[in-house]
Amino acid sequence: MDFLRTRTLAYLIGAVEFADNIRLNILDSLTTFEPRAASSWNNLEGKTCIITGGNAGIGLATATAVARHGGRVVLACRSLERGNKAAKAIGVEACEGNPEKVHEVEVRELDLGSLDSVRSFAKVFNSEHRRLDLLVCNAGIMAPPERIQTADGLEQQFQVNYLGHFLLAHELLTYQRKHFISPKNSNSRTRGRNQHKPAGSASDLACSSDDISTRVIFLSSMAHRAGNLDFTDLQLNRSYSGFQGYANSKLATLSAAKEFQRQFDRSSSTRRDVAVAVHPGLVDTVLARGWLTGADVMGSAAQRFVAPVAKLLAPWLLIQPERALESILYAATAPADLVAGQYVASGRTTRPARQACDTATAEKLWHVSCKLAKMQPSL
Ligand SMILES: NC(=O)c1ccc[n+]([C@@H]2O[C@H](COP(=O)([O-])OP(=O)(O)OC[C@H]3O[C@@H](n4cnc5c(N)ncnc54)[C@H](OP(=O)(O)O)[C@@H]3O)[C@@H](O)[C@H]2O)c1
């Protein structure tokens, strides 16, 4: 019954978004798409940005935009070969605009499905004693038809989409917060609750260059609304559905973003670290196409007939990664008080599902996650 309820809810929300995507795609076919406040990417000039899964889809589009505007991009990829290929393409694309401010794109190995790989990535980066300005926890997988268990004994989506990023952000932020302290006084830490605030103009979106802080963007999804964090079966051992696992991992990610922010806010540090969750939209990538035409969405019998139609409709139902950048750009460059601990979708802060805002659930998830990843709970 629960399974039916969550799936129906997800389909309803998805249908509304698909309808809006068709509208946007028709608009884009008639006029040239003008990204809002695109010049705000300039705020990332000279900043170091790690992007997980930056070799494809939304991660690749984000990495290209950051590199084009003079950011120092570190691609964290599970395949060095695919990462190097992407770095080359990003370099060529980025140099078309303003070549003198483009930095070489770094490629490093990171498999989020292995806790050891995450730890060694963080260890190497921390050993270089570099400031980290932006961490985009983007890499993800969606709805494998069978339950896959990682070498760490966890359900694959839970680990790749959520726990691997949780550990990564924790290890990197712990180091940054210990070793890079802002000399400023903390009046920039005044909190604001600005729900439903649209993306502003370029001058609206300003990260002060002398701020020592790290902004962590967690790619969640509107699918989090179909998620359910059942602590008695987080690893879906009792019953597995690929979509349910995805939705749960995205709810966990959103809940963790909020808990990271609460922990930042509770500390006496003068740093203004920010954690923010983003739904990028339903975007034309390998992940979204795979789901749209896969067995999980319609059952294997219907798949044979519906998949070719879905494939045909995909360019209308899904938006291009450049449009998804609206939300990521807002999350990355809006003033801290507008986005700290918030959920951003369609380029603005939006109210997430109730369970994502539940503090007790978030605290419990934090402690369970620390246990699973064998790490210290404090930042
Ligand atoms: N597309 C959408 O409509 C949509 C909607 C909502 C949320 N999102 C979220 O947006 C994020 C990006 O998705 P996308 O649509 O851009 O997907 P994508 O095109 O399939 O790209 C996914 C990226 O994640 C990487 N990845 C997968 N498993 C990994 C692992 N174990 N370790 C390290 N990297 C791994 C992939 O690497 P390989 O190239 O090596 O496979 C790839 O670079 C995901 O978190 C997704 O859940 C997407």
Q: Looking at per-residue confidence, does 308 or 367 come out higher?
A: 367
Atom of ligand 1 nearest to the CA of 223: 6
What is the value of pTM for the model shown?
Answer: 0.91
pLDDT digits (tens, 9 = 90+) for 308-322: 888 888 999 999 998
Both structure tokens of 183: 């000399």
Range in 37-46, 76-85, 310-319, 328-337 the model is least confident about = 37-46
Q: What long-range pairs does 28-35 form, CB within 8 A, spacing at least 24?
A: 28/320, 28/323, 33/320, 33/322, 33/323, 35/322, 35/323, 35/325, 35/326, 35/329
Percentage above 70 pLDDT, the chain: 86
Would you say 102 and 67 are in contact if contact means Cβ atoms under 8 Å apart?
yes
Query: Residue 112: what pLDDT?
Result: 98
Q: Does ligand 1 lie within 6 Å of residue 111's CB atom?
A: yes
Give the model's confidence band at 296: pLDDT under 50 very low, under 70 low, under 90 confident, else very high: low
How confident is the model over 150-169, as a mean pLDDT?
Answer: 98
Testing ligand 1's pocket by substitution, the residue of 78, 253, 316 carrying the most ligand atoms inside 8 A of its CB is 78
H-helix or E-strand containing 274?
strand 274-279
Atom of ligand 1 nearest to the CA of 281: 5
Both structure tokens of 10: 């997800």
Question: Is 162 marked active-site?
Answer: no
Testing ligand 1's pocket by substitution, the residue of 20, 24, 138, 323 carrying the most ligand atoms inside 8 A of its CB is 138
Other Cβ atoms less than 10 A from the Cβ of 166: the count is 27
Bridge partners of 72, per DSSP, are 48
Q: Crossing angle, helix 57-68 and helix 80-95, to 10 degrees?
A: 40
**How far, in Å, CA of 205 to CA of 43, rounded?**
8
Both structure tokens of 227: 């998620």
φ, ψ (nearest 5 deg) of residue 235: -95, 10
The mean predicted confidence, pLDDT, of the chain is 88
pLDDT digits (tens, 9 = 90+) for 191-245: 443 444 444 433 333 344 457 899 999 999 999 999 999 999 999 999 999 999 9
Atom of ligand 1 nearest to the CA of 79: 40
Range in 17-26, 32-41, 105-114, 220-229 the model is least confident about = 32-41
**How far, in Å, CA of 30 to CA of 22, rounded?**
13
Bridge partners of 107, per DSSP, are 75
Q: Which domains are delineated in the chain?
A: 2-18+37-181+189-282+324-372 (3.40.50.720)
Q: Does ligand 1 lie within 6 Å of residue 14's CB atom?
A: no
Distance 12 CA to ligand 1 centre (A): 23
Exactly one of 11, 175, 240, 246 is catalytic; which is it? 246
Q: Looking at per-residue confidence, does 8 or 118 come out higher?
A: 118
**How far, in Å, CA of 253 to CA of 343, rounded?**
11
Nearest CA to ligand 1 atom 9: 219
Query: Residue 201: what pLDDT?
Result: 36
Q: Does ligand 1 lie within 6 Å of residue 273's CB atom?
A: no
